[in-house]
Amino acid sequence: MVAYNGTRAGNFCKYVVKKPDKWGYKLFCHSSVDGFVHDILMYLGETTFANHHTLPSEEQIAMSVTSKFVVVLVNTIKHTSHSAVYAEHYFTSIELAKYLRLQYGCRYVVHPPLKSVKEINKKSTQRGTLGYVSSDGILVARWKDNSVVTILSTDVGFESMGTVELYDRALKKKVPIPCPSVIQMYNDHMGSIDKSDMLTNLYKTPFKTKRYYMRLFDFLLNLIICNAWILYKRDCLALHANPKLLKDLRLDISNWLRSFKTSTFKITGNSLGTRDFSLPKRANRQFCKV
C-alpha cells in the first residue's frame, strides 16, 4: 500500500483494513528473495484488466481476480521454467497451480487458508505431526506447529525431513521438531515483499501535496533507490567488500544532486539550428481617443 488519504485520486484510492496504511494505492508486486522488486501492477478495480494485451487468452480472462494478478506478474518473468513462485494465501488456487505448471513450466508454492482439522489441533497431537495429500504433482501438506500450517506446492515435496528448534512452554527450552522441506523452503523464500516495504518506508521523505499522483512518484523514487542499494549489495558480496548502509547511500545521492547549480539560459537560433525560439519584445501599447 502506498499511503494516500486524499480525495483527488477517486477510485484509485483503496481501503484495506489489515494494512498499516489503511488508505492508499494498492499495488501487487513480484520480487526476488532479497527484496528487489521486478514488476508492479496497480489495482484499479474493474478496469485493472481492461487492456487485452495484459491477458491475451480467453482462458486467462475467465480466471478469478486473484489468479489474474499472478498470471500477469508471471508473464514478465524471463525464464519461467527455471523459476518458482512463492505467494501468500490470498492467491491460493489449485487450478492456478496446474495452469502455471502446464503453460509456463513454473513451480508454485502457496500457503492456503484452510481451516485446521480438529484432530490435529488437539493437545494430544504432538508438534511436528505431518499429514499430506499428493495428486498429479500437486502436494497439499498440513504440519502442526503452535498452530496448524497448510501448504500447497508444485515445487518441492515433504521428503528430506529436517528439524527446527522451537520453544517448548512445558519444558521451558527449545527442542528439535521434525519439519518437512516444503515448510522450510516456504519460510526461507517468503517475506521479500515485506522486506521491500520495510526498506521503502525506512527513510521516507514527508511532504504535503494536493496532486494525488505525487504519492506514487515519491514511492517509485524510494523504490528505485532501494533496488539500486540491493544491486549494490550483491556486487559488494561478489567482490567480498563491505557495503554502505542504505542511509549513507541516500545521503550520497542527496549530496550529489545538491552539488549541481541551477542556471538559466535563453534558447536562440544559435543553440537550436536556424530556428529562433527567443520571445518577441513586448510591443508598446497605443491608445487613441474617440
Collect the ranges in the chain with pLDDT lower than 70: 51-53, 56, 113-121, 123-125, 132-135, 158-160, 261-290
Q: How far apart are CA 261 and CA 268, in angstroms?
A: 22
240-269 as b/e: b if 16+ CB within 10 A? eeebeebeebbeeeeeeeeeeeeeeeeeee
Distance CA 77, CA 74 (A): 5
- Give the pLDDT confidence score for residue 264 in this predicted structure: 54
* Residue the block writes with cell 511436528: 128
pLDDT at residue number 210: 78
The pLDDT value recorded for residue 279 is 45
Other C-beta atoms lying within 10 Å of the C-beta of residue 151: 23
The pLDDT of residue 289 is 45
Amino acid at 122: K
Contact 101, 137 (CB under 8 A): yes
Residue 289 amino acid letter: K
Q: What pLDDT, on the 0 to 100 scale, is given for residue 133?
A: 67
